[in-house]
A and B are shown apart, each in its own frame.
Chain A
Amino acid sequence: MKSTDDEKLLMIYFNEAQQKDFDPNLSSSDLSGQLEQLEADMNAIENAQNQYDLPEDYGQKLWSQIEDKIVAKEPNQPSNASNWLQSLKNIFLVPQYSLASFAAILALVLVAFYAGRHQSSAVMGNQLQEMLLAQNIQLHLTQSEIFLTQVSNDNGSYNSQATAQRLLSSNRIFKQALVNHDGQFTNQLLQDLESVLLEFANGRSANYSDQIHGQQPQVNWVNDTKSNDLMFQIKAMKQKLAQKNDII
């Protein structure tokens, strides 16, 4: 047989033959015989290479030779995080551990989700509650400020009693709501405001301006004796609440 045929035969043996290699010449009856002979020869070559003997303890000998070099050359591990991920990935790829690992990870995720949801909902709930309360108190203070401005400038025509009663109710509700929050200064202001609103709610309407601006709170949270009237306190508190958006 020509060498080109031998080459094609070898490619057929190695499973690398293309369709054009299966020409009529190679389809002859002795093709299988040639392939068998080639296989026998290749097996003989394989056996010849297997004659190479190594001592039983070769592995131990090799380890003792490379151990010091290995210590000197620590593994090139990109980073702890990526190595950890790679190890985790490898664990998942081991068939007998993949299912158990998957179940364990799933359980961890569910527990984390449940705990996280509860924790975040509690934290978020408190924050949101305080934020809403601060905004409502701001609104209440604005209304109170308008009310006090009106009554201080009024010559007796403004019906202040109904508004004062409504504001007094709101004021008490907010005071009650502040019990659960650390709002010492806000609570003090509402306390001061309540006493003023209470008088208007009870029908007292004479000499409003003197009454309001002459109000002297027992505790002045700004600790400024020149600016301690109620109107100033309301304005200052509104600003603080707007800036921080939580109860102070």
Chain B
Amino acid sequence: MMKEIDDITVINATAGDKNAFQLIVLHYAQAVNRLAYRYTADASYAEDIAQETFIKAYQAIGRYQAQAKFSTWLLRITTNSAIDYLRKANRQMAQSLDEEGAQLEIADHVIDTGDRMDLNRRLSVALSDLSDVERLAITMKHHQGYSIDETAKVLNIKNNACKQTIFRAVKKLRKQLTSEVNA
């Protein structure tokens, strides 16, 4: 579980203290980048999203309300930044989100088990092979604990489409695990 920064630092930052905000950046930089990487499977994208997240957070910190954990608030900004970034990056994302109930083909592309890649490596490749919307949906649901309703709303798709998307993502990833067992 992520360790929260102390409340006084957050309060000082909400009052416009730049030094306090610097402490927040130092404390949460890794967590934000890691989450951005989960969403994008791309280190350079994650770097850009992390920067964008903290700039947005600095601009909006006056509106932060202490009822929610600060990390929850910050990681929500990260999620939104990642979605915006991927939309702008004009990857499959825009098309996937705009096509209601889009049924993407499940890739039969199975990574060659004979190439001596270890399981983690192969899973990482499999994650990067997911479509953006699949990766976003599975990360939001599994890692960030969003509900199906919330995930669908943020991704601007219907609930059933969201369930299908998550299901497809899990199926693709498990396929790598299965092939490891079978290999």
Contact = CB atoms under 8 A, between A and B. Distances in A.
B119 interface: yes
Interface in A74-130: 74-78, 83, 86-87, 89-91, 93-94, 96-97
B124 A59 contact: no
A52 B124 CA distance: 9
A46 B50 CA distance: 20
A6 B123 CA distance: 20
A62 B64 CA distance: 22
Contact of A10 (B25, B60, B167): B167
Contact of A7 (B29, B43, B124, B163): B163
Contacts of B30: 54, 58-59
Residue with the greatest number of chain A CB neighbours at <10 A, chosen from B11, B22, B143, B163: B11
Nearest to A82: B62
A49 B51 contact: no
B109 interface: no
Nearest to B52: A66
Contacts of B136: none
Contacts of A52: 34, 37, 43
B25 A45 contact: no
B62 A45 contact: no
B55 interface: yes
Nearest to B169: A45
Given A44-B119, A48-B120, A73-B55, A11 B142 contact: no
Given A42-B142, A48-B124, A58 B33 contact: yes
B151 to A, nearest CB: 10
Given A58-B33, A90-B7, 13 more contacts: A10-B167, A42-B142, A45-B127, A48-B127, A51-B120, A54-B33, A58-B30, A63-B22, A65-B51, A66-B55, A86-B63, A90-B11, A96-B7
Interface string A1-36: 001001100110010100000000000000000000
A63 B26 contact: yes
Nearest to A52: B37
A69 interface: yes
A192 B51 CA distance: 87
Contacts of B28: 59
B148 interface: yes
A69 B119 contact: no
A95 to B, nearest CB: 8
Nearest to A40: B177
Contacts of B141: 14
A182 interface: no
A157 interface: no
Given A66-B54, A75-B58, A83 B15 contact: yes
A10 B170 contact: yes
B82 interface: no
Given A63-B22, A66-B54, A16 B147 contact: yes
A155 to B, nearest CB: 86
B104 to A, nearest CB: 15
A70 B120 contact: no
